[in-house]
Amino acid sequence: MKNNKVDYFINKNKTQNLNKKAIRSGGLSVISRMTSHIIKTGSIFVLARLISPEEFGIFTMAFSFIGFFIILNDLGLTDAVIQKEKLTHSQISSLFWINLLFSSSIVLLLIIIAPYVGRFFKESEVTIIVILLSFSFIIAGSSIQHRGLLKRNLQFKEIAIIEVIATILCNIIAIILAFFGWSYLALVARQLSRILIISIIAWYFCKWRPGIPKYDPEIKPLITFGLQSLGNFFINNIAFNLDKTLIGRFFGKAQLGFYHKAYHLAALPTNQLSMSLFHVSVSTLSKLNDDPEKYRKYYLSALEVIAFIGFPISFYIAVMSKYIILLLIGSKWLPSAELFSILGLGAGIQLIYSTCGWLHVSQGKAKRWLRWGIVASIFIIIAIIVGLFFGLKGVAVAYTAIYYIIVGPALYYAGKPMNLKLTSIVSVLWRYFIASVISGLCCWIVFVYYNYSINIVLNVLISFFIYSISYLIILTFLYMSLKPILQFISIMKKFLPGKK
């Protein structure tokens, strides 16, 4: 037990083999997320045929409201634990009990206000869903510090196992229940079971156990940092869920079902990558604060990797949205296709935007992040409200466009304390963006303009092959070398478990 405590609370390897460990951790995280993504995609394929758009819409109404509180659950203390260089068992114990008390308060609050949420959406089932989902907060709150310590110690193998097992089991549960006619309650069960499984396995892997809470003056800076970080997450979460909340209120459950499915499919691939790399990158960058040059180099290298993947995914799904919808969830979801295409255009740039969080948190600049979050959320909320006047398509266009507008100022502001120039960031990104746009245009000409079609499966496979080949050829031409491809392959090899 003592060795475990030393591992969790003392930063033994501040810079030693940090790059290799970060790449390995990132690899494990990405692999687990992509595995989870494949499982989720498979479950979508099944659940979308067992549950109607209206039933998905009812669940989304409740979940969009719950989403305002989900980000509050850890009080920002996970980031504080990861970023802090030195911690003690007593401090973590106090944070554990604070988290658990706060989670319990959220449960009580949600139970009280659930009927009013149902009235807002004019759907009585929403009340039931909010009450049921409220219990997920206390379950998640019981393992927040355990998961934070695993991430702090770069134990991403264990985190990967947790993520994959939870994803497999919760989707099996949801499919079985949906098959037996549980409707939207199957989706509720999926959410609750996932959080329960994650918490149980996190306690198994992290041998730390909470002690009796004691007052420690060093807790105050951790809570301050956490609350500032939380403030940004909460404000962003309001903007993140507002589109779905307003669509549910003004356009009804069926339209919300179509919009949410389009949004979910567009965001899923890039969100998996973003979430995979956030804590790995924060953990690594935090250890490089004393060496700005290495800090900038690591960030730009990581940015290059996610641009290599993120931009082509974004433009491919934008062009081939109709065929992807038909393949994955069937013709009854076809109204989602155009929305999927519009939102897909923004997926890649949102992935780049998400790296601002790496910079703010790793530098301990939670207050700067909060300031930016307030400014950005104001612009996002205004865009969504304006888009609402033009229907679902208007909201999708507004949501996508606003990220293209704010990404530059966001990266400039986040990188300024480390003297990370916006020109350096653009110089890393532009080739991947151009290659993705041109490749998307090639696919659009063949499969949309000339409407080339064999069958749905072959169309997706052939278009993906054409897109991938054209993307790699154009990228090689823009670089006048195979450097980005070879670099990506090299990093992927280091990602693989067992590679030294």
Confidence band of 482 (pLDDT split at 50, 70, 90): confident
Per-residue pLDDT for 5 more than 50? no
Specify whether the CB–CB gap between 269 and 347 falls below 8 A: yes
Q: Tens of pLDDT along 406-459?
A: 999 999 999 999 999 999 999 999 999 999 999 999 999 988 877 777 788 888
Question: Average pLDDT, stretch 396-401?
Answer: 95
CA distance 413 to 411: 5
Among 405, 382, 406, 404, smallest CA distance to 395 is for 382
Tokens representing 247 are: 């669509």
Confidence band of 56 (pLDDT split at 50, 70, 90): confident
Q: Tens of pLDDT along 181-219?
A: 999 999 999 999 999 999 999 999 988 888 887 777 777
Range of lowest pLDDT (65-69, 186-190, 374-378): 65-69
Specify whether the CB–CB gap between 337 and 329 falls below 8 A: no
DSSP H stretches of helix in 320-390: 321-328, 336-354, 356-362, 366-388
Q: Provide the pLDDT for residue 229.
A: 66
Estimate to the nearest angstrom the gap between the alpha carbon of 38 and the chain centroid.
15
Confidence band of 235 (pLDDT split at 50, 70, 90): confident
Estimate to the nearest angstrom the gap between the alpha carbon of 171 and the chain centroid.
18
Contacts 24+ apart (CB under 8 A), 424-430: 424/296, 424/300, 425/300, 425/303, 428/300, 428/303, 428/304, 428/307, 429/303, 429/304, 429/307, 429/311, 429/352
Q: Tens of pLDDT along 344-372?
A: 999 999 999 989 988 988 888 878 888 89
Confidence band of 4 (pLDDT split at 50, 70, 90): very low
Q: Provide the pLDDT for residue 283.
A: 72
> Distance between the two ends of the chain, CA-based, in angstroms?
28
User: What angle is formed at CA 209 by the lines to CA 141 and CA 201, rounded to 5 degrees?
Assistant: 60
Question: Average pLDDT, stretch 391-410?
Answer: 94
Q: Tens of pLDDT along 84-126?
A: 667 777 888 888 888 888 889 999 999 999 999 999 988 889 9
Rounded percentage of the chain residues whose pLDDT exceeds 90: 39
Q: Provide the pLDDT for residue 2.
A: 40
Mean pLDDT, the chain, as a whole number?
Answer: 84
Residues with Cβ < 8 Å from 126, sequence gap 6 or more?
58, 61, 62, 65, 114, 117, 118
Range of lowest pLDDT (232-246, 310-324, 425-439): 232-246
User: The whole model's pTM is what?
Assistant: 0.73
Question: Average pLDDT, stretch 477-498?
Answer: 74
Rg of the chain (C-alpha set): 22
Range of lowest pLDDT (202-216, 229-243, 378-392): 229-243
Among 226, 217, 70, smallest CA distance to 148 is for 226
Confidence band of 500 (pLDDT split at 50, 70, 90): very low
Q: Provide the pLDDT for residue 6.
A: 42
The structural domains of the chain, with segments of one domain joined by +, span 2-495
Range of lowest pLDDT (35-44, 173-182, 217-226): 217-226
Among 170, 239, 226, 188, smallest CA distance to 406 is for 239
